[in-house]
């Protein structure tokens, strides 16, 4: 696995006018297939599987899951079999994510949404073991203590590149990535998470619990911005489509709407509310996930059209 990360200065007019330095950590460039934060989240999980001689890694996700996509490829590279337990009945036509995963050798196990909600039920987990052998489970989204350990290294990469920031801002799904950033943050840096799910209050306790499991204490100085989920997971508002479109044109870098687009939108809103002081240095994390964009293009186009034809709210 390689890991060439760069930091780009974003000269976005709105931020420049207010004297706010905004940089972008390009984790989307870490690896062509194991993109972004998933590379860091999987690193120590794979190492442990190799050490223990586990022959099967099993995890959970939706049809467009970046985690499932990354795990399938990482398993293939490491020579470890992978099983993806996928939310929803088997479709007639697989998403491109699942086509890739299957092509890399992942076995796909489709379950109803009802069953998926009960995925941690011991009886269900035992059934899976009967089908696929003695597996090492990785939770949905890949967040566990080993993922937190891996994500601490994102901060090390920033420091290696000479980056020094007042605020570091990153998308949150399950919060594992944010927990790693919090655990390793420099003393003067505030960590800001942007949850992409609606009603993500559970993240406060999940993140604290991940910090504990990985052997640390909560050092504080972090918060969650709760107003930029845009209706929920993989939901796209006209404002989000517009924000991403403007960003692509000005910065020349593409974001995707499920995670990174929402971080940019949250930063614009914080700027508008005066929450980013003149002279402050802010780092946004481009956590990757570009493979998922393949499933979102039509919706993005539609919502951009709505925005440009004057749709409000
Ligand atoms: C999975 C993912 C996240 C969220 O990571 P968590 O550790 O689950 O909070 C953020 N950005 C991208 C692009 C992702 O694929």
Q: What is the pLDDT of residues 268-284, one digit of tens each?
A: 999 999 999 999 999 99
Inter-residue contact 112 to 311 (CB < 8 Å): no
Is pLDDT of 32 > 90?
Answer: no
Is pLDDT of 2 > 70?
Answer: no
- Report, as an integer, the average pLDDT of 213-232: 96
Cα 106 from Cα 220, distance rounded (Å): 39
Cα 205 from Cα 197, distance rounded (Å): 15
Cα 284 from Cα 191, distance rounded (Å): 10
Is pLDDT of 20 > 80?
Answer: yes
Cα 161 from Cα 269, distance rounded (Å): 28
What is residue 141's three-state secondary structure? helix
259 CA closest ligand 1 atom index: 11
- Residue 8 — φ and ψ, nearest 5°? -110, 135
How many angstroms is it from 260 CA to the middle of ligand 1? 9
What confidence category does residue 5 fall into, taking pLDDT thresholds of 50, 70 and 90? confident
Mean pLDDT of the chain: 96
Ligand 1 atom 13 nearest Cα: 289
- Report, as an integer, the average pLDDT of 166-184: 98
pLDDT score for 313: 52
pLDDT score for 1: 46
pLDDT score for 33: 87
How many angstroms is it from 84 CA to the middle of ligand 1? 17
How many angstroms is it from 136 CA to the middle of ligand 1? 21
CB distance 62 to ligand 1 below 6 Å:
no
Q: Model confidence over 45-85: pLDDT tens digits? A: 999 999 999 899 999 999 999 999 999 999 999 999 999 99
CB distance 61 to ligand 1 below 6 Å:
no
How many angstroms is it from 85 CA to the middle of ligand 1? 18
Distances (CA, A) of 204 to 7, 176, 211: 28, 11, 11
Q: Model confidence over 111-144: pLDDT tens digits? A: 999 999 999 999 999 999 999 999 999 999 999 9
How many angstroms is it from 256 CA to the middle of ligand 1? 12
- The structure tokens listed for 107 are 């076995």
- Report, as an integer, the average pLDDT of 200-229: 97
pLDDT score for 56: 97
Which contiguous run of DSSP H or E holds residue 8? strand 7-10
CB distance 216 to ligand 1 below 6 Å:
no
Is pLDDT of 244 > 80?
Answer: yes
pLDDT score for 268: 98
CB distance 149 to ligand 1 below 6 Å:
no
How much of the chain, in percent, has pLDDT values that exceed 70?
Answer: 98
151 CA closest ligand 1 atom index: 7
CB distance 144 to ligand 1 below 6 Å:
no
How many angstroms is it from 8 CA to the middle of ligand 1? 20
């Amino acid at each position: 696995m390689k890991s060439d990360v760069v930091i780009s200065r974003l000269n976005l007019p709105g931020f420049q006018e207010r004297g706010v330095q905004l940089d972008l950590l390009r984790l989307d460039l870490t690896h062509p297939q194991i993109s972004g934060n998933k590379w860091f989240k999987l690193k120590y999980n794979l190492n442990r599987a190799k050490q223990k001689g586990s022959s099967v890694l099993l995890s959970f996700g939706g049809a467009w899951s970046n985690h499932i996509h990354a795990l399938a490829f990482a398993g293939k590279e490491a020579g470890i079999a992978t099983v993806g337990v996928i939310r929803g009945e088997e479709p007639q036509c697989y998403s491109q994510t699942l086509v890739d995963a299957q092509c890399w050798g992942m076995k796909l196990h489709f379950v109803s949404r009802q069953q998926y909600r009960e995925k941690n039920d011991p009886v269900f987990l035992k059934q899976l073991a009967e089908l696929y052998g003695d597996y090492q489970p990785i939770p949905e989204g890949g967040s566990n203590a080993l993922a937190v350990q891996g994500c601490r290294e994102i901060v090390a990469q920033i420091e290696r590149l000479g980056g020094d920031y007042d605020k570091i801002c990153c998308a949150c799904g399950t919060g594992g990535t944010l927990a790693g950033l919090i655990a390793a943050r420099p003393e003067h840096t505030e960590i800001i998470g942007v949850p992409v799910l609606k009603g993500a209050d559970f993240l406060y306790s999940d993140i604290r619990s991940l910090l504990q499991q990985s052997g640390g204490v909560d050092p504080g100085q972090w918060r969650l911005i709760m107003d930029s989920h845009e209706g929920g997971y993989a939901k796209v508002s006209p404002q989000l489509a517009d924000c991403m479109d403007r960003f692509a044109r000005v910065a020349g870098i593409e974001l995707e709407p499920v995670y990174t687009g929402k971080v940019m939108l949250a930063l614009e809103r914080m700027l508008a509310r005066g929450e980013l002081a003149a002279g402050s240095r802010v780092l946004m994390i481009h956590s990757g996930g570009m493979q998922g964009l393949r499933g979102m293009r039509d919706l993005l186009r539609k919502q951009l059209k709505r925005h440009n034809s004057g749709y409000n709210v």
